[in-house]
Amino acid sequence: MSEVNVTPSPASRISTGRRTGTRRKPKKNQIPYGIALFVGMLAFGIYLTAVSARLGIFWLIGCCFGFILQKSRFCFTASLRDPALTGSTSLSRAVLIAFAVTSIAFTAVKYGAHIGGLPIPGQGSVAPISLATAVGAFLFGIGMVIAGGCASGTLMRVGEGFGMQFLSLFFFIVGSLLGAHNFGWWKITFIDKGPRIFLPDIFGWVGAVAAQLLVIALLYVLADKWENKKLG
């Protein structure tokens, strides 16, 4: 006896989907909502500009950053999570490239102030490095993965309408307020225990840039090899 292979036709599959209720509902046209939102953003930007030109510029820059984040899916959490979960390191390499560009740009700004005899900008952000730094980074990394986004990724997904990210944003704000309120105690008890390291003081300006770019390049090569090993 020969076997008969019966393949359901597309029409029968659609009919079956109707009977079982598995057919997806047609999506609503969201273009009118997008137009209304854009008009609202534009009107609010004009209002801010009337109050202060700087506020208008900040609003424009923020909107541009949000658009770029949404379209590029740029997220620091994904750059650290994806290599372990999916093997993809495309975002990881994008973050490393961003680090390399900003390293050169910020060094140029700082060095320009240095040779001009001006205060070097950002020196107040040279924080002490200690075990507290590593523990804090580890805990923050766990929180990012559980929440499904870093600060920028959470804001971007809130704009997209993800409900869970509203919850993450709420507790992000609560945690930030509590941290700011108790920061003095944390600073005295833990943060100030470590040394402050400014690479130009150790390697010189050129050596500091070269050392940092070398580390970034090494991480880039490792990320590329990891992706080829996992997905190749």
- Residue 15 confidence class, pLDDT cut points 50, 70, 90: very low
pLDDT at 93: 93
Residue 93 CB-density burial (10 A; 0-12 exposed, 13-18 middle, 19+ buried): middle
pLDDT in tens, 131-182: 888 888 888 888 888 877 778 778 888 887 888 888 888 988 898 899 899 9
Residue 45 pLDDT exceeds 80: yes
In angstroms, the CA 62 to CA 226 distance is 34
pLDDT at 65: 85
Residue 21 pLDDT exceeds 70: no
Question: What's phi and psi for 7, nearest 5 deg?
Answer: -105, 120
pLDDT in tens, 94-110: 899 999 999 999 999 99
Note whether 154 and 169 are within 8 A (CB).
yes
How many other C-beta atoms can be found within 10 angstroms of the C-beta atom of residue 77? 21
Nearest to 103 by CA among 225, 232, 208, 31: 208
How confident is the model over 60-66, as a mean pLDDT?
89
